[in-house]
Amino acid sequence: MTSAEIRDLACQCGFELAGVARAEPVDDRYGYHQWAAAGFAGEMNYLTDRRAAVRDDPRSLLPSARSVICVGKLYHTPWPHSTGLDDPERGWISRYAWGEDYHLVVRRGLARLEALLRERCGAGFESRICVDTVPLLERSYARQAGLGWIGKNTCLINQPQGSWFFLGELLTSLEIAPDAPPPDRCGTCTRCIDACPTAALVPRDNGYSLDARLCISYLTIELRGSTPGETRAGIGPHIFGCDICQDVCPWNRRAPVTIEPEFQPRHFAPPLEDLAALTEEEFRAMFHESPMVRPRYAGFLRNVALAMGNRGLDRFRTPLERLAACGHDTVAEAARWALEQLR
């Protein structure tokens, strides 16, 4: 098969981007290990433990792999961006977490693509579906497959369509002629770097890297326990993830939007006061099959408390006092800090 035929099949499966890369190590693996050695992964041990070496070669995941079919699924919806949210009573949830868990959506599409390949080529090949929980340098292979370049904000950017894409891969033993990577078109632009409230995009090796320890997404999703004091004000109203570096990217000015129901917001910028009152059972019911459950209930309330403190409304005093008296140390400490901001 040709990569053009692969793109046609991927389009039938709901993917807006698709391409093919060779299933072999890429030079980016050296940079990845340097990034991990610098401590930029923070407490995300799954990025630095034995699985770090697995990322060096796709054949660690599928020994017979010869090609990596890379796909992109658009999740940009026709709703305001975080940079346009001016209601001080509301908190921000990253755009990718508004709807259904993207792992499920992307995996369904890849399963369909795999089935179409078997219809076309027969069953005599091996394959493996990968979403971002699998140890694979997916942005690097997506770049090799021609889907885009890796920008200064460390997101994959497609020239005509921007960066609002989930990535997925299908490793296969099929030999498919690969695509070519596009040129880097960030140029001298530094809007994402200048806009980051916590200065998480740091210069390194003639480019930029993401120091996860300073990233709002890491601080509100991956970090367990107390949030470092020097980063709290920069988190602003974010209660789950951050979109700022994509919101300000010039390549997203004309980004297409999707009307697929899976990605439409269940709870767009919800009121902070309502979130602070949720019980653990209500939290799980509200965000069932959503990425929002990843920080767990305590991490979620910690984030809500910090957002209330950063919003600075006196009406938040009562819910914050209630959180400060709760039985979880991390939540209570965040609420006490927030109360200080109100004073």
pLDDT of residue 179: 98
The b/e string for 67-93 (b: 16+ C-beta within 10 A; e otherwise) is bbbbbbbbbbbeeeebeeeeeebbbbb
Q: Where are the domains of the chain?
A: 1-270
User: 170 near 129, Cβ under 8 Å?
Assistant: yes
- Of the candidates 56, 57, 132, 247, the residue annotated as catalytic is 132
pLDDT of residue 123: 84
- Strand ranges of the sheet holding 127-130, from the earlier edge strand across to the other edge: 17-22, 67-74, 165-172, 127-130
Kindly report the number of other CB atoms within 10 A of residue 253's CB atom. 8
Q: Catalytic: 243?
A: no
**What secondary structure does DSSP assign to 100-162, as a single string?**
S-HHHHHHHHHHHHHHHHHHHH-S-S-EEEE-TTSS--HHHHHHHTTS-EE-TTSSEEBTTTB
264-268: list long-range contacts, CB under 8 Å, 24+ apart: 264/77, 264/98, 264/99, 265/77, 265/79, 265/93, 265/98, 265/99, 266/98, 266/99, 266/290, 267/93, 267/98, 268/79, 268/93, 268/98
174-211 pLDDT, tens digit each = 999 999 999 999 999 999 999 999 999 999 887 899 99
Q: How far is it between the farthest Cα atoms of the chain?
A: 69
Residue 209 DSSP class: E
Evaluate if pTM is beyond 0.85.
yes
pLDDT at 59 over 90: yes
208-240 pLDDT, tens digit each = 999 999 999 999 999 999 999 999 999 999 999
